[in-house]
Amino acid sequence: MPNSVVRVLALAIVAASLLSFPAEAQGNWRRGDNGSARLRVGLFEPDGDSEYWDDSFSVFTGRPADFEDYVMAFDYLWRIGPSTGIMFTVGYYEGDTTQAYRDWVDADGYDIPHRTSLEIADLNAAWVFQLNRPGASFQPYLGVGGGFVQWGLEESGYFIDFSDDAQPVVFAHYKADGSTLQWFVMLGAEVPLGTRWSFVIDGRWRNADDELGDDFAGFGTLDLSGNEYSAGFATRF
């Protein structure tokens, strides 16, 4: 089980044990509701398990955890049954870090740095199952879904030109973008804060990859998978 999901479960259990609400505080699975809207903020960390990442971290400093950064997401939950629904999600993530050659420095003995950034925007739909009775004061859920991913990768800074026998350090900017499909699993919980609002904890593991092109053509696949964990608020309607 991904570490992010473990953290989500732990937070959900703690929240449920600390908060107690009356029966009318039924959150976003209340009988008669059509659905809810949710805004979440959290963190996403790429797995970094592909040809591009392997080659990058073998030549340059860094690790996948360096790309952990904020993710923002908006969910629309359409309730289609007492304990089931379809959740539509729009999300955005951008992470970056500074890298340098592991085995080379410049003529003055300084690192040769560049900035690497990864941007991901996605649109998803998931089948969601509530794991407790409708109207309960603690409402865990799980789901599975898939969607469309738009991504962008950039490296900008100083590099060694190995095509020149003198191996000069030059400034360069490399960029690639693309789109692909993904699938994911999710596990979370809602804790009602009243008859309309709920506090939401959400953990997801996303799986996606794509073949690199543009300035990175020939660099293999780019792994876009990773762990996402977030929290936010939901309102029912």
pLDDT at 33: 62
Instruction: Please state, in angstroms and rounded to a whole number, the distance separating the CA atoms of residues 175 and 219.
Output: 12
Per mean pLDDT, which range of 11-20, 42-51, 176-185 is the poorest? Answer: 11-20
- What's the average model confidence in pLDDT over 88-109? 96
Find out whether 93 and 119 touch, Cβ atoms under 8 Å: yes
pLDDT at 194: 82
pTM of the model: 0.83
pLDDT at 28: 52
Per mean pLDDT, which range of 31-35, 48-52, 127-131, 160-164 is the poorest? Answer: 31-35
pLDDT at 137: 78
**pLDDT band, very low/low/confident/very high, at 236 (cuts 50, 70, 90):** confident
pLDDT above 80: residue 196: yes
**pLDDT band, very low/low/confident/very high, at 34 (cuts 50, 70, 90):** confident
Q: What is the mean pLDDT of the chain?
A: 88
User: What residue ranges define each of the domains in the chain, with the CATH number in brackets?
Assistant: 3-236 (2.40.160.20)
DSSP string spanning 111-125?
A: --EEEEEEEEEEEEE
- What's the average model confidence in pLDDT over 54-83? 94
DSSP string spanning 198-227?
A: EEEEEEEEEE-EEE--GGGTTS-EEE--EE
pLDDT above 60: residue 13: no
- Stronger pLDDT, 13 or 149, i.e. the higher one: 149
Find out whether 200 and 188 touch, Cβ atoms under 8 Å: yes
pLDDT at 9: 46
Find out whether 213 and 37 touch, Cβ atoms under 8 Å: no
pLDDT above 70: residue 140: yes
